[in-house]
Structure 1
Amino acid sequence: MKNIVIGSGPAGRLGSLELGKLGEDVTLIEKNHIAGTCLNEGCMVVCALTDITKFIDENNRFNKHGFLKSQIEISYEKIVEKITETQQMLRKLNQMENESVGNNVIYGEAKIEDGEVIVNNESFEWDNLMIATGARPFIPDVKGKEFGLTNKDILKLDDVPEKLNIIGGGIIACEIANIYSTLGSEVNVLARSTFLKELAPETKRYVLEKLMPDVNIMENTNVSEVFKDKVLTTDNQELEGIPFFATGRTPNSEIAEGFVELNPDKTIKVNEMMQTNVDNVYAAGDVTGGYQLTPVARKEGITAARNMAKYANKISYDCIPQTLSLNTEVSFVKNEKLDLDDDEKSTIAIPGIAGPGAFWKILEGNTGYTEIDFDGKNNKIAKINSISPSSTSDIAYLSYLMRMDYDLDDYGEFLEVHPSTDTNYKIIKNLWL
């Protein structure tokens, strides 16, 4: 059967790869660059820049301790050049990976007209169709919005901004603030309501006081107008600095309008098998809304692909781990199956330990923090917020145990690899013993 996948971000790329591995005939269509927002404009760019800020952070710490004396001179131009080179290499590898299973990768903007997929004036027949066109930055209707930057513009900057006004209060706003603050910018974050509402209060406090002390956070602050070099708030504060919008995402669903059913927010409506309301038409990734996360998009793409190949598969969104890429990672997960009242849950707060990447932070009391809510009656983990250099792997592992519905007694045989999973050891043993 002929399968067409429109969009080669995490959902489309992994969905195409899965279909190819299953022996299906696949055409993958991409408008710009393979691998989508993640590699080209999003999380991979953030991670690349954060690798540099971690190095700067460590260098400053070692200088402070007195056993290393060095000066760092930053070339933002060279950083962008090397990120771009790496992206080009990864694009080639991603294309080769898809082609290695027999998939046809073509470039051009796809359209759906009268049920046909048209690319570069050529019509393609299909038996199954997956729409995985992703999302783009949402920019609110604010006067002067054309002057605002987004994550799409990070690699277009000539240099580190002297002053930066980040509009938004979520994960992207936090990560961008950390990057440019560490690189030397004077950074304001203007959150319409609460900053980092995804985090537990004490975890958020640690982030603000220990990880981002030089960033000025302004909660419950609305913007009335933006200019090329300043922002005006509704309470008439004038803040100098380049405006940067981190105000969410909007789906690239225009291709599907009038073809499949959309939700009120213009995302494509799908069921747990990633099926739309049209037979043999599927959608996956950010264009369907929900969790705007690369691992979730991958899982959705693979789920759609398996169903397209007639291997029945459903997706579940329980216990999704998330992270903030900062100079020390902040990760969190919630077990949605456990909706506990205050009198049903117990909370344990654990200071960070000298695990991987934390030894030289002991002298300044900045080794991390972990907070766990658990259901003592049923012996289950309900929620974890963790700050440590290993929190991304720790929380990914623990979220799996939560998703598989293990109780605390089942953790008793966990044996850590010292020092890489010491944080796991401490979390589990504090709960289990």
Structure 2
Amino acid sequence: MENIVIGAGPAGRVGSIELGKLGEDTILIEKKHIAGTCLNEGCMVICALNNVVHHLNNNRKYANHGFLKGNIEVDYEALCEKIRETQRKLRYIEQKECEEVGNKVIFGEAKIDGDTVNVNGESFQYKNLLISTGGRPFIPDIKGSENGYISSNLLDLKEIPENVNIIGGGTIATEIANIFSGFKSNVNVFARSQFLKEVDASAKDYIMKNLLNNINVYENTDAEEIKKDSLITSKGEFEGITFICTGRVPNSEIAKDFLELNPDNSIKVNNMMETSKEHVYAAGDVTGGYKFTPVARMEGVTAARNMAGYSQIVDYKYIPESITLDMPVSFVKSNDKVETESIEIPGLAGPDSFWNILNGDTGYTKIDINKENRNVENVFSISPSSVDDVAYMTMLMTLGMDMEDFDEFLEIHPSTDAVSKIMKYMY
């Protein structure tokens, strides 16, 4: 009997590779495309489009400075085809990675029947089973929702729309709004409650004033009807196509009547990624919780090691997050409730920041320090290098280092030294 992994997104693919490395016979079953939402319709697509937007914005910035001339036109259909071409190459590479550790990859829709998995007319009895079937966009009960677009439709558009309406107030809504604004569409965002609730208030203020200032944001607004070329809301009707960005739900139907589910229909697991049935594990978005690629990978590896007999648990204390905008927004928050004091840095002259200095748009960083032990508790950073900075700071926080310990590191300049060293000097 083999280990069987259902779903080849970040959790399942990395989990299957870990099983292969540990010498475990493993079958990886994928319904559609290897690499899951991240590569095929999620963060990698967002990053690819944002790279182009960033290039356009830099061109406009340099033109305003007077040393770069000439207009750039975007062929959106050609851009999307190049993204698809890159996706195909990456899928091939990621499948080879799975096969090179001895895994068998099968494409087809899996069905679970007790201790057997059926796919493409074949039946496989499993030693251990890992369910990592991911999630999908949540479609709210709005009249005309079939006329709306979701994030997976970004590459289906033939041209850049003149007007775009976005329902939702979280990360995905913000990232799509930023992309179309960069392409010079007229963009409206409608949040049922508050916009960017997960972001620190002062960081949100900077984002609204400096990064999303060409976007109309309507808070406490209900979407009432989606038409093909307009959106009717509680604040009026707005022309344009409509994207629905209202969160995600787990693809847990495969486990219905087989495993215990949470109230939101995600698969219930413990901190070893074990489900309610012995020898059955689950990881990634299908378990609810943090819907981030690095978390899915961590959960997949944890499940794999436990399946192979190496006991391990997951630790969610520090989960770094980011929002992909023209200037990345990154943050990490401790789950501990302690008394802190804050350091605020107007901007950092780190990587890719030099030409922002002329406009005064170098970013914003806020760091919360534990008053008792001087440990860093929370970091909110908006800068061209914030993704690297916050990842580095998360590592130091996880290791329990205080600001005195940071002096032991000699960094490359300009890089993360702009955060840790300036923070130390300002404290």
Asked if 1:322 corresponds to 2:325, the answer is no
Give the aligned partner of residue 228 of structure 2.
Answer: 228
Asked if 1:400 corresponds to 2:399, the answer is no
Does the aligned pair in 1 maintain the 2:115–2:125 contact within 8 Å?
Answer: no
Does the aligned pair in 1 maintain the 2:343–2:423 contact within 8 Å?
Answer: no
- Cα drift, residue 377 of structure 1: 2.0
Does the aligned pair in 1 maintain the 2:389–2:415 contact within 8 Å?
Answer: no
Give the aligned partner of residue 365 of structure 2.
Answer: 370
Give the aligned partner of residue 289 of structure 1.
Answer: 288
Give the aligned partner of residue 51 of structure 2.
Answer: 51
Give the aligned partner of residue 355 of structure 1.
Answer: 350
Separation of aligned partners in 1, 2:281 and 2:384: 38
Does the aligned pair in 1 maintain the 2:115–2:126 contact within 8 Å?
Answer: no
Does the aligned pair in 2 maintain the 1:135–1:252 contact within 8 Å?
Answer: yes
Gaps of 5+ in 1: none
Secondary structure class of the residue paired with 1:126: strand
Separation of aligned partners in 2, 1:245 and 1:359: 36
Secondary structure class of the residue paired with 1:177: helix
Asked if 1:70 corresponds to 2:70, the answer is yes
**Cα RMSD, aligned residues only:** 1.1
Does the aligned pair in 2 maintain the 1:415–1:425 contact within 8 Å?
Answer: no
Separation of aligned partners in 1, 2:54 and 2:3: 43
Q: For 1:37-71, what per-residue CA distance to the aligned partner results, in whole angstroms no more than 9, with x for missing partners? A: 00000000000001101101100000000000020
Q: For 1:98-127, what per-residue CA distance to the aligned partner results, in whole angstroms no more than 9, with x for missing partners? A: 000010000000011233211011111111
Give the aligned partner of residue 267 of structure 1.
Answer: 266
Give the aligned partner of residue 218 of structure 1.
Answer: 218
What is the one-letter code of the residue matched to 1:206? Y
What is the one-letter code of the residue matched to 2:261? L
Asked if 1:309 corresponds to 2:308, the answer is yes
Does the aligned pair in 2 maintain the 1:192–1:221 contact within 8 Å?
Answer: yes
Structure 1 moving runs of 4+ over 6 Å: none
Does the aligned pair in 2 maintain the 1:186–1:215 contact within 8 Å?
Answer: yes
Does the aligned pair in 2 maintain the 1:416–1:425 contact within 8 Å?
Answer: no
Give the aligned partner of residue 172 of structure 1.
Answer: 172
Separation of aligned partners in 1, 2:372 and 2:308: 43
Separation of aligned partners in 2, 1:97 and 1:298: 15
Separation of aligned partners in 1, 2:70 and 2:367: 39
Separation of aligned partners in 2, 1:316 and 1:166: 34
The alignment covers a number of residue pairs equal to 427
Separation of aligned partners in 1, 2:283 and 2:302: 9
Give the aligned partner of residue 146 of structure 2.
Answer: 146
Separation of aligned partners in 2, 1:408 and 1:290: 31
Gaps of 5+ in 2: none
**Closer/same/farther in 2, CA of residues 210 and 28 from structure 1, 3 Å limit:** same
Give the aligned partner of residue 155 of structure 1.
Answer: 155
Separation of aligned partners in 2, 1:369 and 1:430: 17
Give the aligned partner of residue 389 of structure 1.
Answer: 384
What is the one-letter code of the residue matched to 2:325? L
Give the one of 411, 420, 423 matched to 1:416.
411
Does the aligned pair in 2 maintain the 1:226–1:243 contact within 8 Å?
Answer: yes
Secondary structure class of the residue paired with 1:408: coil
Separation of aligned partners in 2, 1:167 and 1:282: 34
Separation of aligned partners in 2, 1:430 and 1:375: 16
Does the aligned pair in 2 maintain the 1:9–1:35 contact within 8 Å?
Answer: yes
Does the aligned pair in 2 maintain the 1:416–1:424 contact within 8 Å?
Answer: no
Secondary structure class of the residue paired with 1:73: coil
Asked if 1:90 corresponds to 2:90, the answer is yes
Separation of aligned partners in 2, 1:426 and 1:37: 37
- Cα drift, residue 256 of structure 1: 0.3
Secondary structure class of the residue paired with 2:344: strand
- Cα drift, residue 202 of structure 1: 1.2
Separation of aligned partners in 2, 1:114 and 1:378: 52
Give the aligned partner of residue 198 of structure 1.
Answer: 198
Q: For 1:308-332, what per-residue CA distance to the aligned partner results, in whole angstroms no more than 9, with x for missing partners? A: 0000010010110000111111100
Does the aligned pair in 2 maintain the 1:224–1:234 contact within 8 Å?
Answer: yes
Separation of aligned partners in 1, 2:145 and 2:340: 45
What is the one-letter code of the residue matched to 2:181? S
Query: What's the TM-score once normalised by structure 1's chain length?
Result: 0.97
- Provide the identity percentage: 56
- Cα drift, residue 422 of structure 1: 3.5
- Cα drift, residue 427 of structure 1: 4.3
**Closer/same/farther in 2, CA of residues 425 and 373 from structure 1, 3 Å limit:** closer
Separation of aligned partners in 2, 1:410 and 1:18: 33
Secondary structure class of the residue paired with 1:127: strand
Give the aligned partner of residue 246 of structure 2.
Answer: 247
Separation of aligned partners in 1, 2:324 and 2:128: 37
Q: For 1:337-378, what per-residue CA distance to the aligned partner results, in whole angstroms no more than 9, with x for missing partners? A: 2x13xxx32111101122110100101100011011111222
Q: For 1:52-100, what per-residue CA distance to the aligned partner results, in whole angstroms no more than 9, with x for missing partners? A: 0110110000000000002000000111010000000000000000000
Separation of aligned partners in 1, 2:417 and 2:74: 34
